[in-house]
């Protein structure tokens, strides 16, 4: 059997804050997930996003420490329209999340923006631009 990519896992410093952030992006986590050390949301296409608390990771990997400095991981969310990129970016920044890159029309034909989740991971928001805008 060939291994199949199936999950993206993020270690969170505040699980409740991360759940609230990703729920604003439309992901569905089980009710009461805030009281658990691990939570998963099934993504379209069969992938899963898993969130673990730092204490959970330390329980099976005692020497683990959160990385210092900037993250090297980003998640990208396809939005339906360029206007949805703008609206979602404003919603997330308006609720206190760091806006890393305001929405702009990228040269590769997409409306693009970047926000940070509560742990500083980059979250890209994008949508194809109409053909006449390119």
34 part of a folded domain: yes
Domain ranges, residue 99: 74-133
79 and 127 part of one domain? yes
Residues 6+ apart with CB under 8 A from 67: none
Q: Tokens in use for 8?
A: 């993206």
Q: Which residues pair with 7 in a beta bridge?
A: 48
Cα–Cα dist 17/124, whole Å: 18
pLDDT tens digits along 34-71: 999 999 999 988 899 999 998 888 888 888 888 776 66
Output the domain CATH number for residue 114: 3.10.180.10
101 and 127 part of one domain? yes
Q: Tell me, what's the pLDDT at 60?
A: 81
- Residue 102 CB neighbour total at 10 angstroms: 13
83 and 44 part of one domain? no
Pick the range with the lowest mean pLDDT from 43-47, 81-85, 109-113: 43-47
Q: Structurally, how many domains does the chain consist of?
A: 2
Q: Tell me, what's the pLDDT at 4?
A: 85
């Amino acid at each position: 059997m060939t291994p199949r990519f199936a999950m993206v896992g993020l270690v969170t410093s505040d699980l409740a804050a991360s759940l609230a952030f990703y729920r604003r992006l439309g992901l569905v986590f089980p009710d009461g997930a805030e009281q658990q050390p691990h939570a998963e949301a099934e993504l379209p296409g069969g992938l899963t996003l898993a969130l673990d608390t730092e204490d959970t990771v330390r329980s099976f990997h005692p020497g683990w420490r959160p990385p210092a400095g900037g993250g090297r991981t980003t998640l990208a969310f396809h939005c339906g329209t360029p206007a949805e990129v703008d609206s979602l970016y404003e919603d997330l920044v308006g609720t206190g999340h760091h806006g890393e890159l305001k929405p702009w029309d990228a040269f590769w034909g997409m409306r693009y923006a970047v926000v940070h989740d509560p742990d500083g991971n980059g979250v890209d928001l994008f949508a194809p631009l109409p053909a006449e805008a390119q």
